[in-house]
Structure 1
Amino acid sequence: MRCDACGTMNKETSRFCLYCGASLTSTTPEGSAASAAPSPSANPASPPIGPRAIPARPAYVPRPRTPDYVGLFGVAFLFLVLGIVFFLNGNLLTELRRWWEQILAGRGAFRPPEGVITSSGLFWGLLGVANFGVAFLRWFFTRSRVRTLGALLGGVAMVMFSYLLYRYSLRDLGGSLVVSLEAAVIAVLLFIYIGTGLYWTTPRWRPAVEGTYRSPRP
């Protein structure tokens, strides 16, 4: 066996060169190829990290606007109530004109004519009942809780004002007291509407893990 370092011939069984002492262990081509090849367990080179692609947001498609048909029902009820009131009191326009002339002349008292008071109470009462119908239609067709509640509370305010006008026509209540009571009723109904609307539309916090605040089972 020839030494690769100094070229001296040695025995085939020798492990070291007799002249220079270099190792005579020879590597076969298969061994050298195997040693040169990377081990399967070695991690391949990771690709270069580039900027992350931002996912494209879907384009906003506006919802087509449709007429508020339930609101048109409310307008129809309004004209129907006006027709009923003027039909039941044919002299309503005349009484309103005379009262307005008295106010302009400085001879009109704060209290309007009895026919105007009665017709006003009837108007607001029927309009409140019509609002109850609009609330039912809104819930039946749209299932909108906020709008249904608004129509319902509006009907309550109108019916209450009609009742106060009825008491005013009987001279049980004064004009200032009627206005103050109706203002208080509207304020209470507004608080109810705003509070309930916020409760329905504001997302409430819920525990992420179910049963976080549950009492332990016995």
Structure 2
Amino acid sequence: MYAKYIKRILDFVLSLMALIVLSPLLVILIILGAVFMRGNPFFTQARPGKNEKIFKLIKFRTMDNRKDKDGKLLPDDVRLNKYGRILRSTSLDELPELINILIGDMSIVGPRPLLVKYLPRYNEEQRHRHDVRPGLTGYAQAHGRNAVTWEVKFKMDVWYTRNISFITDVKVIIDTVKVVLKRDGISSDTSATMEEFMGTKEVS
């Protein structure tokens, strides 16, 4: 009952309220983003949602567009400037996703929407993370963020899809707030963001 009907109603109501209440902050971040990113403060990208349906994710840009002499984008850790690091560490870059939640592409809680190119790299079990709408935050985000391996993260994602409840969502939101305040798991051990997922090697 909750997963099928109530969750979507709550997503719509809460995201609408959040957009209204946070509108002054959003305006400030749009202006600051335009200055520090030297142009468009928004980052949009195609991501797979429920049942792998593709939608356009909206975030605040955290990396600038600096390029090398050959015209290629510089590495993430170079383009992730100080302003971008602040946005990412406080998760303020995620706020525009409230629009995605409002229109039904996403949910407040669910597996994070990843890259489209990862779709053929998932094994059969990992694909179940797309059985539900992706979330602004998720069980994996609240329990390790980018500091855990892809395999551990996907196990948590799939566990969530099979254990959705109002209590679970409330706990995930509370745990997410704690993680954000502590600024835990922003980066992996070897990357400023998160290493690319290349697929899980099956153990024979």
Tell me, yes or no, whether TM beats 0.5: no
TM-score by length of 2: 0.29
Alignment TM-score, normalising by the size of structure 1: 0.28
Structure with more strand by fraction: 2
